[in-house]
Amino acid sequence: MNKPLLDVLDHQRRCPPPIWLMRQAGRYLPEYRSVREKAGDFLKLCFSPELAAEVTLQPVRRFGFDAAILFSDILVVPYALGQSVAFATGDGPRLDAIDDAKALRKLRSELDHERLMPVYETIARVKSQLPANATLLGFCGAPWTLATYMIAGAGTPDQIPAREFAYRAPELFQQLLDVLVEASAAYLIRQFEAGVDAVQIFDTWAGVLPDEEFDRCCIEPCARIIALVRARIPRAKFIGFPRGAGLLYERYVRATWVDAISLDTAVPAGFAHDRLQPLAAVQGNLDPVILLVGGAPLKQAVNALRRALGGGGFIFNLGHGVLPQTSPEHIAMLAKMLAEPLNGIS
């Protein structure tokens, strides 16, 4: 049986377009909250293959989505490089900040795959239970976005600690990016070997970088990861998400050779259609806030997006993750709309 989402990554147009949602497993689902409570700690959930596989599959079961995304977090990579990582309830991630040469030296130069074995086991478990027409997506954080957490030791509103570090200590900063490129490529290779069909690279904080910094911090590391993985796994498919990159989205697509490009909420459909869709499939970009509202505004926005982008390679998704306060009924309505062709367009 074929997989519609994988077909789109393979340059085919599918009608209706395949759908999945970023953060489709999460607190908006009662069945997630119940497993999360059982696991206690968030990282414990990420590293318990049975529970992580269960929450990966929940949204596919409930909504019939075309893809399951591995349930894990981007910060397991710094953890497997020896950095301490914790999630304080309601407080986001906390790491021991890497802010000088001494702290950087403490980082391992290679990933400790032992620490990541539970993730690979989760992938194998999901693979064996996933419907044949559903795609299994793996992922990693892009080096720049990981560096923003690793350098600040926490999430920051403006990523200034990492931006300052990059200007003040360009060589140390490059060393960190290089370690993260190698580690991320090794991690994604293992994910493909364990059974994922495609992967997404999340560069959540790409949008704060000025033009000249965008190349060294975002494009080059992502392009290197993709080349390293493809050298080992020629069939490897990539979705890139340089969130907030604006006009630089086009340069990112041309330079990284991603198979699909995930659009944040601000990317105009006309720009995506004219400049990006000729180069790669596009994924996105419904406003997660419209999903909160539901009803007529949701229907109208979904149809407009499908009319604008459904004529080419298109994966339906949000511009960013599902908000925790979203009603599962609104998502059920969205999934139902996407099960039908639209006026002969898509």
Residues that bind ligand CP3 (CB under 6 A): 22-27, 36, 42, 69, 71, 73-75, 87, 92-93, 139, 141, 155, 202, 204, 321
CB of 318 to ligand CP3, least distance (A): 10
Buried b (16+ CB within 10 A) or exposed e, 289-305: ebbbebeeebeebbeeb
* Structure-token pair, residue 129: 């239970």
CB of 316 to ligand CP3, least distance (A): 15
Q: Is 73 a catalytic residue?
A: yes
Catalytic residue among 14, 36, 163, 190: 36
Catalytic residue among 13, 23, 33, 251: 23
- Rank residues 92 and 295 by Cβ distance to ligand CP3 and give the closer one: 92
Catalytic residue among 7, 10, 13, 27: 27
**How does DSSP assign 86-149, residue by residue?**
EEETTTEEEE----SHHHHHTS-SS--HHHHHHHHHHHHHHHHHS-TTSEEEEEEE-HHHHHHH
Q: How many residues in the chain?
A: 346
Q: Is 23 a catalytic residue?
A: yes
CB of 185 to ligand CP3, least distance (A): 18
Residues with Cβ within 8 Å of 316's Cβ and at least 6 positions away in sequence, in order, are 17, 18, 19, 283, 286, 302, 305, 306, 338
CB of 117 to ligand CP3, least distance (A): 18
What distance in Å separates the CA atoms of residue 143 and residue 178, rounded to the nearest whole number? 8
For residue 49, the Cα-to-chain-centroid distance in whole angstroms is 20
- Rank residues 325 and 343 by Cβ distance to ligand CP3 and give the closer one: 325
What distance in Å separates the CA atoms of residue 28 and residue 152, rounded to the nearest whole number? 29
- Rank residues 86 and 293 by Cβ distance to ligand CP3 and give the closer one: 86
CB of 39 to ligand CP3, least distance (A): 9
- Rank residues 207 and 297 by Cβ distance to ligand CP3 and give the closer one: 207
* Structure-token pair, residue 61: 């079961």
Residue nearest to ligand CP3 (CB): 204
- Rank residues 56 and 346 by Cβ distance to ligand CP3 and give the closer one: 56
As beta bridge partners, residue 317 has 285
Active-site residues, by number, are: 23, 27, 36, 73, 149
